[in-house]
Chain A
Amino acid sequence: MSILTYIAGWPLLAALALVVVPRNYRVIIRAIAVLATLISAVLAVKMFAQFVPGANGFQFEQQIPWVESLGISYHVGVDGLNVGLILMGAIVAFAAALCSWEIQTREKEFYILLLVMTGGILGAFASLDLFFFYFLHELALVPTFIMIGVWGRGEKKNYATFQITLYLSIGALIALIGLIALYLQSGANTFDIPKIIEHAKTNPLAVNAQNFIFPLLLFGFGILVSLWPFHSWAPLGYGVAPSPTAMLHAGVLKKFGLYGLIRIALPLLPQAAQSWAHFLALLCVGNILYVGWVAMRQKDLNLLIGNSSVAHMGFIFLGIASLNLIGITGAVLIMIAHGFLAALTFALSGYIYKQTGTLQISELGGLCRKLPFIGTALLMAAMAGCGLPGFANFVGEATVFFGAWKIFPTITIIALWGALVIGGIYMTRAIRNILHGPLPEKWNSLSDANFWRKLPYALLLASLLVFGFCPKLLTEKINPDAQKIVALATGNMVTANAPSTLAVNFVAQNK
């Protein structure tokens, strides 16, 4: 059994176990959930440490035939692209389980859904089979809707649930059609991703078929990732979602679509990817500039974070659209960094909401005095969000800009402006209004997090800082495999000493 099976399997097993635990054993239910995610996280760290950068092929592989007649098998494995994502997913899931103390009704169902979601996401990232890739994502997606619909907050709950269900189901189904079409068109008669890629090297897909399938995947996955103009579900959904759900979805599950584009669409549909890249880059501007602009106008902290998280997706898309080694590496870096960051900010806003019962920025103020730890963490998260060096986000964003500069200079300038100026404005303004200034009298009774409740925030912050100061941990793993993807997507081999690689190392060493 591969360690990956255990990482995704423990949460699912724990979910099954919870079904039989009586609902009034609250402590035990919570303990099982926290323990299962902790085991996953520890195993993920172990796997990350044992991963050999640049090794040929996939590591920790396991393959069990499932439906022979269709060529579906349970196949998991990691390379540089998903090893970091699985680590990030497992840590965020553990943090989300720790933050779930804020749920006080129907806890049993909540933890079951949370664990199913965790197992589904981690399994989807580890999966090397198209069918399971989709299957496990869908398994993780449905609990999201239920969690938002049931444990969501605010009067817009029903509308937001409706919208998020509609958008994400449509997105997932469009992607499903794309994946089925890809399977049929490849002619490899297998759902195994490495085998399809191997087969496509000798029998590339016809260009008109590529041009049909790529938009299906781009928009299907794009809707899942809140690509502009299909993003409106995201801020709304995150605004009402209970914070553990928002942490897991915005942090981890949303990266599935991006990962799918890099893992599947780019190497298998190279010509279509090249012809669509420019269009994708234009849509990124929508994400970065338009949604950034919208974020500036928000009066609710969660809507602000939600919009800012959508805006950050623009940088990742830009990295993917640049179709070169630095761009793709940067995209994967931001995916990981943003996972930690989104989880951290939603966890913090959840804490503030639990304490004050509101997230209207105008009603808050001076909170740093009563909540020194939470306030500091929020300040650091905001700084990470506008790209302060030292946090992992900076490394990723800088790398993406390096990668995109050669291809889309105008868009890169706009994106830079969006990241530094717009991001800076809304983040610092939110910090000023929430943490500083006079403390309204009604908030005198607030209390800061105790040790256990500090733990998830500290964990996420530490992860951001570790990868911010030592991005080599990630880049040395991502680089060789990103290179393979780029080689397939552009049709020419990039040699190891090409200037692009040097630039990545340059960025990596200067952090």
Chain B
Amino acid sequence: MLEISVIGLGLVLMLADLFVPAERRRYIGYAAILALGVLLVTSLSGNGSCGQFGTAFGGMFVNDALSLFFKQLFIVAAILVLFMAAEFADKLAEGSVAEYYSLILFALAGMLFAASANDFTMLFVSIELITITFYVLVSFQRSKLASLEAGVKYLILGALSSSFMVFGIALIWGTTGELNFTKLAAVAPQFADSRIFLLGVLLVLVGLGFKIAAFPFQIWAPDVYQGAPTPTTAFLAIGSKAAGFVLLLRVLFTAVPSVTAHWANLLIVISAITILYGNLCAIPQRNLKRLLGYSSIAHAGYLLLGIAALSASGQAALLYYLGGYVFTVMAAFFVITLVMRHLATEDISGLAGLNQRSPLLAATLTIAMVSLAGIPPLAGFFGKFLLLKAVVEAAKATHNLGYICLVFTALAGVVISLYYYFGVIRAIYWSKSSEDLSPIELSAPAKLSIWICLAGIFWLGLFPNTVLNLANAAAAVLK
């Protein structure tokens, strides 16, 4: 099975740590990338275990088009993060990079489990596997105060949200006696009036809302994004968020669809506030990672549009958007890793003169920002287009005025975001040039991964057909 291979790979890396001399350990990462590449290809070709759809472990574990979509997404993200970690190796404690790689793989295993979770036990275990690994990943730069502070913040708030979630699960089990999503869906309508049951569902959503950094559980995001090592931040922004979304989709549309149908307004409000909060708070930020932290809150809001629409096209739009988001955010964090590794802070002014120091990195960051802002012909535009279309469709189908307000809130968010994304681009090309104009050396693997990200951004923007069909197939599972 895919998950076992990934965990095995993580263990092998830890063992390799013992035998490989410290100065060569960053190359272990490339072996891991190769192994993940093989897993990705087998999963794509449909020969691997996740190509066979069905359930396992008494229905706890499910393999379907949705889990396949997310597993591929997680593996792609992990490959890019490993590339990034290899570049980041010299900022980590001496020789500890192999440990860092294996933690990334353990987090990946948690995400793969999350993609297949069909039971609240499985949901909780996978979430904990991801979160606990991230506690370590966030505070990995032990000598750096900010990293430790971020780790402690993440730990406290993460533990709090986990306890909410486990309480919620207990309430659900206590009222219905079911933990399996499919079985729960059958009995949930009987408990539609049970306040304890509804409270249980709500508390589970609180836990997941923390994962995806939706309002009002977004407080941790900017601090943790800023303090964590950059590859961790990137993986947090993609992997952890996507894992939150796949579980959210499963819980809302497989486990308790009867409850979800009544909660459209709640989802609309959360989505709207998340969009506005993320975008408005991003405006004054000067630290690039913090800015991306707020921008990731805003994007959680956009992604929630797809859930709030309560339709298959909304879910497909969400999946498509996540697909584009992977490449875009990875590209942005890659540039941050490479440019800022020798700087004390990650201030936007550190980007000054980047287009003279490295035209490729300057262009990459520009394209990433433009794609995040949702401008054609890049991935972000088509994703936002699909999301807006899904919400307008919902407005038409339900005549709920809330959806129309939501559309205009999303538009306002897009317009606001232009301001700070263009601010970054302006800092690259048109700020007063800095003293440091030394060219930035790029290693071959770094170049390769940047080209992968760029190709992904353009591919999803210009040829959406393949991924959209996959997303449609995945969304069909939820009905």
Task: List the interface of chain A (C-beta within 8 A of B).
Answer: 66-70, 109, 131, 135-136, 138-139, 142, 145, 149-150, 165-166, 169-170, 173-174, 176-177, 180-181, 183-185
Contacts and interface: CB of A to CB of B under 8 A. Distances in A.
Interface of B: 370, 375-377, 381, 385, 388-389, 392-393, 396, 407-408, 411, 414-415, 418, 422, 426, 429-430, 464-465, 468-469, 472
B415 A177 contact: no
B415 A170 contact: yes
A138 B376 contact: yes
Contacts of B370: 142
Given A139-B376, A150-B430, A165-B418, A67 B464 contact: yes
29 contacts: A66-B465, A67-B465, A68-B465, A69-B468, A69-B469, A131-B385, A135-B376, A135-B381, A138-B375, A142-B370, A145-B422, A149-B422, A150-B430, A165-B418, A170-B411, A170-B415, A176-B388, A177-B407, A177-B408, A177-B411, A180-B385, A180-B388, A180-B389, A180-B392, A183-B389, A184-B392, A184-B393, A184-B396, A185-B396
B177 to A, nearest CB: 40
A59 B422 CA distance: 40
A235 B408 CA distance: 27
Contacts of A138: 375-376, 381
Nearest to B392: A180
Contacts of A166: 415
B426 A149 contact: yes
Contacts of A69: 465, 468-469, 472
A53 B406 CA distance: 46
B155 to A, nearest CB: 40
B423 to A, nearest CB: 11
A249 B72 CA distance: 43
Contacts of A70: 468
Contacts of B411: 170, 173-174, 177
A173 B377 CA distance: 16
Nearest to B425: A146
Given A166-B415, A169-B415, A173-B414, A139 B392 contact: no
B174 to A, nearest CB: 43
A183 B396 CA distance: 11
Given A136-B376, A166-B415, A184-B392, 13 more contacts: A66-B464, A66-B465, A67-B464, A69-B468, A135-B376, A138-B375, A139-B376, A150-B429, A169-B415, A173-B411, A177-B411, A180-B388, A183-B389
A68 B375 CA distance: 22
B376, B426, B468: residue with the most chain A Cβ atoms closer than 10 Å: B376
A131 B385 CA distance: 10
Contacts of B396: 181, 184-185
Contacts of B429: 109, 150
A70 B393 CA distance: 13
A180 B407 CA distance: 11
A412 B229 CA distance: 67
A139 B377 contact: yes
A177 to B, nearest CB: 6
Contacts of A145: 422
A278 B422 CA distance: 40
B478 to A, nearest CB: 17
A66 B422 CA distance: 30
Q: Which 8 A-B pairs have the closest CB atoms?
A: A173-B411, A180-B392, A135-B376, A180-B389, A169-B415, A138-B376, A139-B376, A142-B375
A471 to B, nearest CB: 36
A173 to B, nearest CB: 5
Contacts of B426: 149
Contact of A67 (B388, B407, B468): B468
Given A169-B415, A169-B418, A185-B396, A177 B388 contact: yes
A237 B419 CA distance: 17
A176 B4 CA distance: 46
A184 B418 CA distance: 27
Contacts of A184: 389, 392-393, 396
Nearest to B394: A184
A67 B471 CA distance: 13
Given A173-B411, A180-B389, A181-B396, A135 B465 contact: no
B344 to A, nearest CB: 30
B345 to A, nearest CB: 26
B415 A173 contact: yes
A177 B392 CA distance: 8
Contacts of B392: 177, 180-181, 184
A166 B412 CA distance: 10
Nearest to A139: B376
Contacts of A142: 370, 375
Nearest to B375: A142
Contacts of A68: 465
A411 to B, nearest CB: 32
A400 B376 CA distance: 36
Contacts of B377: 135, 139
A170 B418 CA distance: 11
A109 B388 CA distance: 32
B395 to A, nearest CB: 8
Nearest to B471: A69
Nearest to A141: B375
A302 B418 CA distance: 27
A363 to B, nearest CB: 29
Nearest to A165: B418
Contacts of A135: 376-377, 381
A139 B389 CA distance: 19
Nearest to B430: A150
Contacts of A181: 392, 396
Contacts of B415: 166, 169-170, 173
A441 B393 CA distance: 67
A185 B399 CA distance: 13
Nearest to B395: A181
Contacts of B469: 69
A171 to B, nearest CB: 10
Nearest to A174: B411
A138 B468 CA distance: 22
- With most chain A CB atoms within 10 A of its CB, the pick from B375, B392, B465 is B392
Listed residue (A166, A170, A184, A185) with the most chain B CB atoms within 10 angstroms of its CB: A184
A176 B415 CA distance: 13
A138 B376 CA distance: 7
B221 to A, nearest CB: 26
B283 to A, nearest CB: 13
Contacts of A180: 385, 388-389, 392
B479 to A, nearest CB: 16
Nearest to A136: B376
Contacts of B407: 177
Contacts of A183: 389
B414 A169 contact: yes
A491 B448 CA distance: 59
A51 to B, nearest CB: 29
A424 B32 CA distance: 75
A376 to B, nearest CB: 38
Nearest to A68: B465
Contacts of A177: 388, 392, 407-408, 411
B103 to A, nearest CB: 39
A135 to B, nearest CB: 5
